Structure 1
């Protein structure tokens, strides 16, 4: 030991670790966005935490049939005031194109003319006429004219002093444009390209945590989730995020096929939507003339419920059922109104389908069951708030205890894990986030061969509250109260 003369102090690491809690409801949407408006990214996860940030990253259009990512941006940030979300846009301007258009003559009006929003600004070629039939040389962007995306169009504006001399000139224009209709389920599902060595679509799920240190736990693909293959991939990916974490996929029933509540049940069975990791929803929803997929509204409502300090307290312990949706009606895709009474809504719930109900207190989400119900009646699978709590606790435990991996397997390590997590579980119990929970290191679950191999098994006992889906009140005539007549 080195010679020392004096007083000194040092710090020893605390044996009790502060748990790291996972975010309960970060949405991941894979779909299409008008990203060409802002030179946005294609097949790359983008993390956004506000409406402005999302629009700057992906562009925006109210044409949600073409651009379903915009529906999620509007719903999450404007209607439900929550976030962040993770976006994967698969609409590729280098791949999904209409093909070069025929040359078209267009006349300026007040120095302005409009091209479709899908037109690619860097593919626009503009010429004029020196005589009635003779074309000029190509005009230069930034010198003779400018292009900007605005008001759902690509607007061309004449620049004063440039070669276009009249506000009413006839221009000869050629351009290419993106075509969202050419995006297929194969693009949404994604995969790995051995030539580019890049992943795409839902195959990018496992890149999100390493890149942003967040776990996406609610998967969306509004315009494509009704496809059974897409739904199956979404469910599989949600069940194993980075091989460790778990989430849920919200699947929309195809309302062009399922036009009644009984047909919705038939559609579910035909498409085999029966996994605990799937939330199945029907029909579509409206607000102020806008038509929404139920999936984006439910995702927003779940996040809002989780964040509510009196309900979820930052956890998924509370069901979003019987909570207010931001809607004024329910419809099929063709606009046909859907009216459900309690009996019909409950029938859908009994078959593992979440729906809407306008009964008491306005339109609410109605249903607590995942798609595995009624074939699977394990409460940790079929009540989605209970299932999400198990997933959230599991995700949080992994994040909290990861730093202890590869430490020496000694009594102090075991004690630290047990004490840290028991303190955390006791706190959740005190907040009534769970009814009770504990962690134990049991000798019978840790054979010598596993301990020799560096494998330690911890057992967490956990009871989240079930939703009070049925309140039964018995009324009885009590004749004893007749005696009050003689008092």
Structure 2
């Protein structure tokens, strides 16, 4: 019996135009060591944080950035640049990267004993005394504090205690652990291999990858760019890499170091030297990540503008041994001409200086070597994937194809109106969509786009005009 209906009904159909989903931009993925033993934090697990308090709660904090480079990133991103979110992966495993500290006497001052931050609280043993009864332990600042408890059996006139403990040993971490991989026994990934787990876990595209204190190693740098070039097999990012300032101590030596390390990919941005604010020394890659994120944010979450010639939060540039580096414009431009970003104090304070990725000057394709242009191509690609993923496996009809073309053109026109693109359009071209390909379910949409290049050279031509003499002085 046919369906019988008597009355008024309605139904809804899908909107023919898709609302664009904008990809994340300037989101950093950072691999390194953090003092997680002080907060019970995770090991080899991506953790997304939105602010300083969340980061310290999840990773712990110490000013000893040489041991704990993740803390350098926490300070820079949240204290100096106010950029969020950030995704961290801590490699330091307190159950693995540790060493025994021999028993010795420690002085008591005001009822407290100061032990190093590296001390593992659960391993502390005090000769003849019991934790929880005679003393308590807690982390504070740069120390593990042993506090003598009232009512315990430790005499008031005791001047020192005999203590032994195990301590975490960040120096035991190897570059292979930073690189990580997939363990077939535990079925778990580690290190940089966890890059691909960020989007499934948090739904964000972290387009900047950093390994401060490790990226100067050629093997780490190679894996960084390999992961950034194909995040989850579809998204694209950049690897921010530092030059080893113990090897390249003069600006003229940096291009040779770059060549020797085989750093020449459009997905790599190479930085030299280190930078300093007060007594704090930063990897330039760390400050660059903050500067890029802030610039992207100022442009509505879009990487259309170069971070070059914008202020850094520093007051000097240095080598690893503390030697101050003073670059003039010619020195800095020499580095730029070899695909190296630096810090320049020329007019208006210290700024990031350099628009080129590490592929320059070997690769002179503008969409590859200009950082902001290359990032725009990646950002547009990432946004298209996020927006039109829901269209996969829909019925491939003319209406579907036209709706994609129309909505992409509307979005690109919006970017042009906002001056994030000089021009852009999408075409569904007959020569790129053969009957056989269409039968196989493959549709190709050809996008033409031109991001604005940075005005890296501004020339004023001055000429003496004699006509002004006669005009001014003739009676």
**TM-score with structure 2 setting the length:** 0.98
Q: Within the alignment, does 1:486 sit opposite 2:474 as a pair?
A: yes
Check the 8 A contact 1:439/1:461 in 2, yes or no: yes
Residue 456 and residue 147 in structure 1: after superposition, are their counterparts in 2 closer, same or farther (change >3 A)?
Answer: same
Other-structure match for 1:115: 115
Q: Within the alignment, does 1:343 sit opposite 2:327 as a pair?
A: no
Matches within 5 A, 1:97-136: 97-98=98-99, 100-127=100-127, 136=128
In structure 1, distance between residues paired with 2:6 and 2:435: 48
In structure 1, distance between residues paired with 2:288 and 2:325: 17
In structure 1, distance between residues paired with 2:428 and 2:437: 13
Cα RMSD between the aligned structures?
1.2
C-alpha displacement at 1:448, in angstroms? 1.5
In structure 2, distance between residues paired with 1:292 and 1:458: 44
Other-structure match for 2:188: 198
Other-structure match for 1:139: 130
- Out of 430, 434, 437, which is 2:424 matched to? 437
Q: Within the alignment, does 1:301 sit opposite 2:291 as a pair?
A: yes
Check the 8 A contact 1:111/1:167 in 2, yes or no: no
Q: Within the alignment, does 1:74 sit opposite 2:75 as a pair?
A: yes
SS in 2 for 1:29: strand
SS in 2 for 1:156: strand
What do residues 407-428 of structure 1 show as CA deviations (whole Å, max 9, x unaligned)?
0111111011111111110100
C-alpha displacement at 1:5, in angstroms? 3.3
In structure 1, distance between residues paired with 2:435 and 2:349: 59
In structure 1, distance between residues paired with 2:103 and 2:320: 36
SS in 1 for 2:404: helix
In structure 1, distance between residues paired with 2:249 and 2:160: 49
C-alpha displacement at 1:169, in angstroms? 5.1
C-alpha displacement at 1:264, in angstroms? 1.0
SS in 2 for 1:231: helix
- Out of 254, 277, 281, which is 1:264 matched to? 254
Matches within 5 A, 1:74-473: 74-98=75-99, 100-127=100-127, 136=128, 138-140=129-131, 142-166=132-156, 168=158, 170-308=160-298, 312-473=299-460
In structure 2, distance between residues paired with 1:168 and 1:443: 89
How many residues are aligned here?
473
C-alpha displacement at 1:198, in angstroms? 1.3
In structure 2, distance between residues paired with 1:167 and 1:431: 73
SS in 2 for 1:192: strand
SS in 1 for 2:402: helix
In structure 2, distance between residues paired with 1:58 and 1:396: 31
In structure 1, distance between residues paired with 2:33 and 2:264: 27
C-alpha displacement at 1:165, in angstroms? 3.8
In structure 2, distance between residues paired with 1:47 and 1:9: 44
SS in 1 for 2:53: helix
SS in 1 for 2:441: coil
C-alpha displacement at 1:179, in angstroms? 0.5
Runs of 5+ unmatched residues, structure 2: none
Other-structure match for 2:25: 24
Other-structure match for 1:39: 40
In structure 2, distance between residues paired with 1:103 and 1:336: 38
SS in 2 for 1:6: coil
In structure 1, distance between residues paired with 2:435 and 2:134: 80
C-alpha displacement at 1:242, in angstroms? 0.4
C-alpha displacement at 1:107, in angstroms? 3.3
Check the 8 A contact 1:111/1:168 in 2, yes or no: no
Other-structure match for 1:130: none
C-alpha displacement at 1:197, in angstroms? 1.8
SS in 1 for 2:78: helix
C-alpha displacement at 1:158, in angstroms? 1.2
In structure 2, distance between residues paired with 1:6 and 1:455: 43
Deviates more, 1:476-485 or 1:370-379: 476-485
In structure 2, distance between residues paired with 1:240 and 1:97: 35
SS in 2 for 1:450: helix
SS in 1 for 2:56: helix
SS in 1 for 2:166: coil
In structure 2, distance between residues paired with 1:170 and 1:328: 43
In structure 2, distance between residues paired with 1:107 and 1:293: 37
